[in-house]
């Protein structure tokens, strides 16, 4: 039981929807075999029932292959299976006609009823499966209409009369149309899920690109003016030096001062780029989780916390949020910050881990610095980190950082 759960848990949400869609259409084939093939044994004798069961089973098996190849085509994995679709349409016509001929050679009302049910059902399932491989709506309508018309034309010469042939055509039109609509809607839903997943990845890449642009802009603002001044003063010092003027030394001292100042400003920019503010990360986590369709709850305040504590816990929120989006399939995620006995406790809990296998580091180290990197950051402020399963399908990450006495008093004063 664990292996199927692990296999299912490792799949992304679009992959789960695709697997569900594929097996749904395979299940349609099983329904066709049971409803029109196996049920014939309860109505008629062994020989005609076996003949109907064989015909229906062959048609259902080919229909499953058509569904699989057509879904592969919609996902861009293989070309459109035109030959298979035409072959399946011809097979549907031959087998449905075969059920009628079987009823003609056998005797009894029960055989006629079973064969008539198989005749209509095969045409309905055939119309529904073929529309999986047709992208144009007009062609899908033409497929269903063609099968309904064919059902009426075949039924009329067999003695059903105009009313009976019309009833059969209407039945195939309604049932086949319903199955065709189900096929078209399933493909549309699958494409929509994949499109939304690609949009989420695009938003993440745009956020990274925006942060890089911000960093480049800040670095340009710091270095652009200073480099221009350094170049100008260096050129002036060269000219003064050639003329033997003592002011050249003063200009080079100024160049040295500006270069040192630029070096300090660049370090400040890089340090600010690498640090993570807890309040900013909490707000970002709420927005990212909501955009991913995860019900998020963020509680607690950050007022009065030292900068180094906020930076360390901000990295914990960033890494934990990334892992919630990347691993599992969470529906809810709760982030809480609280002060308890002179310590800041941050917990991130989600229900997207069906089963935790291996160590906690293996679960959380999927990207970025992982849990090992977070423990190093927390160790710099004497903090600790714990991660693991706390229940069925629930994963919790807890980070604790002690507060200095002065900071603890300030936090209590702010909270009061």
Q: What is the pLDDT of residues 113-136, one digit of tens each?
A: 777 778 888 888 888 888 888 877
Rounded distance between C-alpha atoms, residue 344 and residue 393, angstroms: 26
pLDDT band at 399 (very low <50, low <70, confident <90, very high): very high
pLDDT in tens, 321-350: 878 877 667 788 999 998 887 889 999 998
Neighbours of 181 (CB within 10 A): 14
Rounded distance between C-alpha atoms, residue 416 and residue 414, angstroms: 5
Alpha carbon 372 to chain centroid, angstroms: 27
- Give the chain's mean pLDDT: 79
Tell me: pLDDT of 197 over 50: yes
pLDDT band at 397 (very low <50, low <70, confident <90, very high): very high
Lowest-confidence pick of 176-180, 270-274, 310-314, 391-395: 270-274
Tell me: pLDDT of 359 over 50: no
Instruction: Please list, in sequence order, all residues whose beta carbon lies within 8 angstroms of the beta carbon of residue 113, skipping any fewer than 6 positions away.
Output: 43
- The radius of gyration computed from the CA coordinates of the chain, to the nearest angstrom, equals 35
Buried b (16+ CB within 10 A) or exposed e, 46-72: eebbebbbebbbbbbebbbebbbbbbb
Helix (H, G, I), strand (E, B) or coil at 416: coil
Rounded distance between C-alpha atoms, residue 386 and residue 101, angstroms: 72
Tell me: pLDDT of 64 over 70: yes
pLDDT band at 406 (very low <50, low <70, confident <90, very high): low
Sheet containing 394-402: which strands, arranged edge to edge? 295-299, 332-340, 343-350, 394-402, 384-391
Region 392-401 average pLDDT: 88
Q: What is the pTM of this model?
A: 0.55
What is the DSSP annotation of 320-364? HHHHHHHSS--SEEEEEEEEETTEEEEEEEES--S---S-HHHHH
Tell me: pLDDT of 41 over 70: no
The confidence score (pLDDT) of residue 363 equals 40
């Amino acid at each position: 039981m664990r292996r199927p759960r692990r296999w299912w848990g490792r799949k992304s949400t679009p992959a789960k929807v695709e697997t569900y869609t594929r097996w749904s259409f395979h299940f349609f084939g099983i329904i066709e075999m049971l409803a029109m093939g196996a049920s014939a044994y309860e109505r008629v004798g062994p020989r005609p029932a076996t003949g109907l069961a064989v015909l229906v089973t062959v048609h259902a098996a080919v229909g499953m292959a058509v569904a699989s190849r057509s879904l592969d085509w919609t996902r861009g994995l293989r070309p459109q299976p035109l030959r298979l679709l035409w072959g399946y349409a011809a097979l549907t016509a031959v087998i449905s006609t075969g059920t009628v001929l079987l009823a003609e050679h056998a005797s009894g009302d029960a055989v006629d009823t079973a064969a008539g049910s198989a005749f209509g059902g095969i045409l309905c399932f055939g119309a529904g499966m073929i529309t999986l491989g047709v992208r144009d709506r007009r062609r899908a309508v033409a497929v269903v209409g063609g099968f309904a018309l064919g059902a009426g034309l075949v039924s009329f010469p067999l003695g059903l009369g105009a009313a009976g042939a019309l009833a059969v055509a209407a039945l195939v039109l309604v049932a086949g149309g319903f199955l065709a609509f189900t096929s078209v809607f399933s493909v549309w839903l699958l494409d929509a899920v994949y499109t939304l997943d690609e949009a989420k990845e695009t938003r993440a890449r745009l956020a990274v690109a925006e942060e890089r642009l911000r960093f480049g802009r800040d670095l340009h603002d710091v270095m652009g003016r200073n480099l221009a001044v350094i170049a100008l003063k260096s050129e002036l010092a060269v000219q003064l030096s050639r003329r033997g003027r003592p002011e050249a030394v003063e200009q080079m001292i100024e160049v040295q001062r500006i270069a040192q100042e630029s070096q300090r400003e660049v370090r400040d920019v890089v340090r600010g780029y690498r640090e993570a503010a807890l309040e900013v990360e909490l707000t970002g986590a709420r927005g990212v989780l909501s955009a991913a369709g995860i019900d998020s709850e963020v509680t607690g305040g950050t007022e009065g916390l030292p900068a180094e504590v906020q930076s360390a816990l901000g990295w914990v929120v960033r890494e934990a949020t990334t892992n919630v989006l990347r691993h599992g399939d969470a529906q809810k995620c709760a982030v809480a910050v609280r002060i308890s006995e002179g310590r800041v406790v941050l917990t991130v809990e989600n229900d997207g881990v069906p089963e935790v296998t291996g160590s906690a580091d293996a679960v959380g180290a999927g990207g970025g610095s992982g849990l090992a990197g977070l423990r190093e950051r927390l160790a710099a402020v004497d903090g600790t980190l714990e991660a693991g399963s706390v229940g069925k399908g629930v994963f919790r990450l807890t980070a604790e950082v002690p507060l200095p006495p002065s900071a603890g008093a300030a936090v209590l004063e702010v909270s009061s």
